[in-house]
């Protein structure tokens, strides 16, 4: 007598879908999925796999239909609600995405993907303050346990070097005797007074913004002393630098833990202090980068936003060349018909465009607490870096993007 459990015809086909998917045979995987659904349109696993296949191909509207079938026939399937949230988010349906992620979170309150997804859906509705606890919990669950660390494998050399410097800093120079924290995320609380210094230019900054070509404004003494000190501590002490980039610098996004009430306070006060520049534009994205003392920074690119606010917080005495270490901005914007990949990643294509159009650049040297504010369509890149060795001397820049590219001007 055969005691093995019976495998249905549909189950066998599901296994076939998984095999095709694992082998990268996407068309075959979709074909088998659809054959199952012709016979049984409400099959939850087949709909789930089809939704994932379509999502990965960028066919988000079709994927949405598949995930909606999943959550209808299997309302307790967290993967269906998460998948639905992602494809709704990718279509800009942020309120619907929020609802999907909240349903998933009710099924599993400790899912890092769900928490990060909900944070993103809230952020893109202009609700950065509400997104903070979800982003922070997602980062803590993602990076704060031994299993997740083991899955990421050995760190890249530049990250390993940074992390050793940070452990020394956190342990007072005796990292060998102290166990490294799995994950440390500073509170970064709001400060009682102002975080952004008021505009004392008497209208000069607003006039500079309206009349300059390229549209660039430089602000010194951006943050109050207390806000600058707290932000430095947040960036120095938080172990959030988990994105490694080809040129050697490290990055952190809100979903990695670059999220705290102080950042919300700064973002809101910037809009209030410079209405002629930021106007009604909402904060749409923010991040931070931290650099090696001599390796190169960010390649030439433009950003998908209306206004870019880029500011530096590393002390001035860390910079070995006061005339460099900042930002280079060109006077030609990215063509509106270029794709995101073209204006964000294609270095040689961008430089050819700038050369053919006689573009000229302006260099804004690094200064602690200086902000470069410019039209996000303008091509820009990190200037040459020459900073002192040492953890606290690492160049840190923070970027806040306001508004959408199509709403610029």
* Per-residue pLDDT reduced to its tens digit, 69-98: 999 999 999 999 999 999 999 999 999 999
Instruction: Please write the tens of the pLDDT for every residue from 380-409.
Output: 999 999 999 999 999 999 999 999 876 554
Alpha helix ranges (H) inside 144-260:
146-152, 157-170, 204-211, 225-237
The CATH number given to 168-182+184-407 is 2.60.120.620
Please write the tens of the pLDDT for every residue from 117-152.
Answer: 999 999 999 999 999 999 999 999 999 876 666 556
Domain boundaries, the chain: 9-143, 168-182+184-407
Say if residue 42's pLDDT is above 50: yes
- The Cα 358–Cα 397 span in angstroms is 29
CA 390 to CA 313: how far, in whole Å?
Answer: 15
- The predicted pLDDT at position 1 comes to 42
Phi, psi of 6, rounded to the nearest 5 degrees: -70, 135
What pLDDT was estimated at residue 3?
46
What average pLDDT score do residues 9-38 get?
Answer: 88
- Alpha-carbon distance of 183 to 322, in angstroms, equals 34
pLDDT tens string 323-353: 999 999 999 999 988 988 888 889 899 999 9
pLDDT at 184 > cutoff 50: yes
Residue 274, pLDDT above cutoff 90: yes
Name which of 130, 137, 90 is nearest 111 in CA terms. 137
CATH: 1.10.10.60, 2.60.40.10, 3.30.1490.20, 1.25.40.10. Which one for 9-143? 1.25.40.10
Question: What is the tens place of the pLDDT at every residue in 154-171?
Answer: 788 999 999 999 999 998
**Could you give the CA distance from residue 188 to residue 317 in angstroms, rounded to a whole number?**
25
Query: Does position 7 have pLDDT exceeding 70, yes or no?
Result: no
Q: Where are the alpha helices (DSSP H) in 74-156?
A: 78-90, 94-107, 112-123, 128-143, 146-152
Q: pTM to 2 decimals? A: 0.90
Cis before residue 191, ω within 30 degrees of 0?
no
């Amino acid at each position: 007598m055969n005691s093995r459990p019976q495998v249905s015809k549909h189950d066998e086909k599901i296994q076939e879908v998984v095999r095709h998917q694992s082998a990268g045979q996407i068309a075959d995987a979709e074909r088998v999925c659809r054959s199952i659904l012709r016979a049984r349109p409400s099959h939850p696993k087949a709909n789930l796999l089809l939704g994932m296949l379509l999502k990965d191909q960028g066919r988000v509207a079709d994927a949405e239909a598949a995930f909606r079938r999943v959550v209808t026939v299997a309302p307790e399937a967290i993967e269906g609600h998460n998948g639905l949230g992602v494809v709704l988010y990718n279509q800009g349906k942020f309120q619907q995405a929020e609802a999907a992620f909240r349903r998933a979170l009710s099924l599993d309150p400790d899912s890092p993907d769900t928490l990060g997804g909900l944070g993103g859906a809230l952020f893109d509705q202009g609700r950065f303050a509400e997104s903070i606890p979800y982003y922070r919990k997602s980062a803590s669950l993602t990076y704060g346990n031994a299993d997740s660390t083991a899955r990421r494998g050995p760190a890249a050399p530049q990250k390993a070097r940074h992390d050793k410097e940070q452990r020394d800093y956190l342990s007072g120079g005796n990292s060998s005797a102290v166990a490294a924290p799995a994950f440390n995320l500073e509170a970064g609380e709001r400060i009682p007074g102002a975080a952004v210094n008021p505009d004392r230019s008497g209208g000069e900054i607003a006039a500079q913004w309206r009349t300059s070509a390229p549209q660039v404004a430089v602000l010194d003494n951006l943050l109050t002393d207390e806000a600058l000190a707290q932000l430095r501590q947040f960036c120095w002490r938080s172990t959030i630098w988990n994105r490694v980039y080809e040129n050697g610098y490290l990055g952190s996004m809100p979903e990695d833990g670059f999220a705290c009430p102080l950042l919300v306070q700064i973002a809101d006060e910037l809009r209030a202090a410079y209405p002629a520049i930021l106007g009604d534009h909402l904060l749409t994205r923010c991040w931070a980068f931290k650099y090696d003392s001599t390796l190169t920074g960010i390649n030439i690119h433009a950003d998908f936003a209306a206004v870019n606010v880029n500011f530096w917080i590393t002390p001035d005495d860390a910079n070995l060349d006061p005339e460099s270490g900042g930002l280079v901005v060109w006077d030609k914007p990215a063509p509106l018909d270029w794709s995101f990949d073209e204006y964000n990643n294609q270095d040689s294509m961008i430089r050819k465009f700038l050369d053919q159009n006689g573009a000229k650049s302006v260099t804004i040297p690094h200064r602690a607490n200086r902000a470069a504010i410019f039209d996000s369509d303008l091509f820009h890149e990190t200037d040459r870096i020459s900073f002192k060795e040492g953890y606290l001397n690492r160049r840190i820049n923070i970027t806040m993007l306001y508004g959408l590219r199509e709403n610029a001007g």
